[in-house]
Structure 1
Amino acid sequence: MEPGMVDLERQPVVEVEIGSLSVEGSPRSTGEDPDHVAALLGVDVTLPPILVHRATMRVIDGRHRLRAALLLGRTVIEARFFDGDEAEAFVLAVRVNVAHGLPLALADRKHAAERIVASHPHWSDRMIASVSGISAGTVAELRARSGDSGREESRVGRDGRVRPVTGAERRRRAGEIIRANPDYSLRQIAREAGISPETARDVKNRLLRGEDPVPARRGGSAVRDEAVAPPRPPVETVGPPAGRTPGRDWTAVVERLKADPSLRFSEKGRDLLRLLALHTATADAWDDLIDSVPVHCGPVVAYLAGDFARLWTDLATGVELNIPETG
């Protein structure tokens, strides 16, 4: 299990002397927010236990709750302990402070991503992005700026799988799979090598012609990352509407999908239809949603929307790989 993904709810809650705790090394550079502390002081419920790194007694999560307890004159506070190393504790601090409570400022999230790139260079850009609450592209820029880009031959993704960093390495891996399993379909090759079916087809054709699976570089540029499948026509005639404006003709397409018995009469199919139907709002409705987001919730909503968009991209790629091959 990756650091930060441990089931913290199973850790016992204990009382800890407040004087033994430290808030140094926090990803939050601005310290406590007085308004947030005041809001906690006015809450008439028991606050959740804070999270503490046992080895250093640093507060991983709960700095504002700690300040509120001090202002109330308390000498002990309820806490759960985390037993990983310091790098893992920092990753966990970033993860939980991005996911809930008072969100980290963008500058803090970028600085946190820089630290995680240094401490976990084997993690993929998307993995680090999911922890730090910024885009994978921004992580890639930070990695390149640090000089660590390209040092690792492979990286661990969000799903725990290890994949080659470059498109060239994925193509070579596909070539090995084809040589060892000549009867594999393009879909099987693509799934195991982490490439698109079209790239798998190109690699297979190159091997049949006696060529290297990696195309020659043009003008000294590296082979493009080809992990994500390019668009291809669907098998059925139910195609997407022209244009990408939210709500534009989507309702009619979703209604056609709702009429498909294979989706309508299965539990997972109905779940998918409900998710698709959520996105059929008009452009004006989307604008209203944007305007309804309070400023203080903006960073969290923006992060969640971006992360959910990446999940939809993963779903699109997975469905693409499952489309039967023709010809």
Structure 2
Amino acid sequence: MHVRTLAESDIPLPPIVVHRPTMCVIDGRHRLRAAHLRGEERVSVTFFDGDERDAFVLSVLANTHRGLPLSDADRRAAVRRIVLTHAHWSDGAIAAVTGLSSKTIAGIRACATTELPELHSRIGRDGRTRPLSTAAGREAARLYLEDNPDASLREVARVAGIAPGTVRDVRARLRRGDDPIPPKVRAGEQRGTRSPAVAAEMADVEVTSSLRVLRSDPVLRFSEHGRWLLRALGEGMSNADWEEAAAAVPGHLAGLVVGLARENSRRWAEFAEALDAGQPAVLLRHAGC
């Protein structure tokens, strides 16, 4: 019925979304069938170049917010798959994709704990990585507060990578002379201690997960400037990639590369601060406007 309604409409059909590596339709199966009923030989297509896991997420997102809605059973099945393929995503981030509540996501995740990898952080719906254990962030906040006792909560939170509320608790503990890391948090951190090599692998996973969040957003993926941003953020660059890139730099050019890398780092830091603070004038300066 839905397909026939689309076919009988005079309104041009929006482009379908196709996963380029497999040529499977991610979004627009009904539009494709409607075009066939109309006798059309060609349809407009937007290609998605991510992997199959991200393609699945995009298809769920499309069906959640457009077209015929998924049944509750289909949504729950999608959640069970996403919590395994995107374990670093927060319950809220998965809820935004599937249309179920965060509480429901948490319940489904709890049933899949034996299949999930051990994680130390999750990525929220805003794309930010937040630690499941805040021990390291609390320690960083302690050190920063010792040198900058009058720093604002927001400033310390940005430096330490923790929430302002956590900084407030750290500051209060320090004023009382207590350990800034609660016993339960410290115990959990000790149980989760990893070797430097494993920590590096975890960093790779977090970067990859963050990029998957960005790649799955059509606003970035299907715009010229969005694709440029993904490339500029080092899409697909693992620790091993960086090591190989460093090894490829000739000794006589190392100084130039070091200088450019540090200057780019400074610009990215300023860009991040401006974006976090919502300062469009600074962002326009970076864009060359």
Structure 1-normalised TM-score?
Answer: 0.49
Separation in 2, partners of 1:127, 1:60: 20
1:45 to 11, 19, 40: 11
Corresponding residue number in structure 2 for 1:247: none
Alpha carbons of 1:144 and 1:97: their partners in 2 closer, same or farther (altered >3 Å)? same
Alpha carbons of 1:200 and 1:111: their partners in 2 closer, same or farther (altered >3 Å)? same
Deviations 1:297-320, CA, capped at 9 Å, x for gaps? xxxxxxxxxxxxxxxxxxxxx9xx
| Greater Rg over alpha carbons, structure | 1
**Aligned-partner residue type, residue 195 of structure 1:** A
SS across alignment from 2:12: coil
Separation in 1, partners of 2:135, 2:104: 23
Separation in 1, partners of 2:90, 2:137: 15
Structure 2: unaligned runs, 5 residues or longer: 190-276, 278-289
Corresponding residue number in structure 1 for 2:81: 115
SS across alignment from 1:102: coil
**2:168 matched to 1:201?**
yes
Tell me if the contact between 2:134 and 2:162 (Cα under 8 Å) persists in the aligned partners.
no
SS across alignment from 1:77: coil
SS across alignment from 1:81: strand
Report the alpha carbon displacement of residue 137 of structure 1 after superposing the two structures with TM.
2.0
Separation in 2, partners of 1:216, 1:61: 49
Report the alpha carbon displacement of residue 166 of structure 1 after superposing the two structures with TM.
3.9
**2:64 matched to 1:104?**
no
Corresponding residue number in structure 2 for 1:270: none
**Aligned-partner residue type, residue 153 of structure 2:** L
1:199-278 → structure 2 map (5 Å cutoff) = 199-217=166-184
Corresponding residue number in structure 2 for 1:137: 103
Q: Give the total of aligned pairs.
A: 187
Corresponding residue number in structure 1 for 2:151: 184
Corresponding residue number in structure 2 for 1:58: 24
Separation in 2, partners of 1:124, 1:103: 23
Deviations 1:140-160, CA, capped at 9 Å, x for gaps? 222221116682111222222
2:34 to 59, 62, 68: 68
Deviations 1:206-228, CA, capped at 9 Å, x for gaps? 2344432233349x999xxxxxx
Alpha carbons of 1:181 and 1:125: their partners in 2 closer, same or farther (altered >3 Å)? farther
Separation in 1, partners of 2:188, 2:17: 47
Separation in 1, partners of 2:110, 2:140: 25
Separation in 2, partners of 1:99, 1:84: 20
**Aligned-partner residue type, residue 112 of structure 1:** A
Structure 1: unaligned runs, 5 residues or longer: 1-34, 223-317, 319-327
Higher fraction of helix: 2
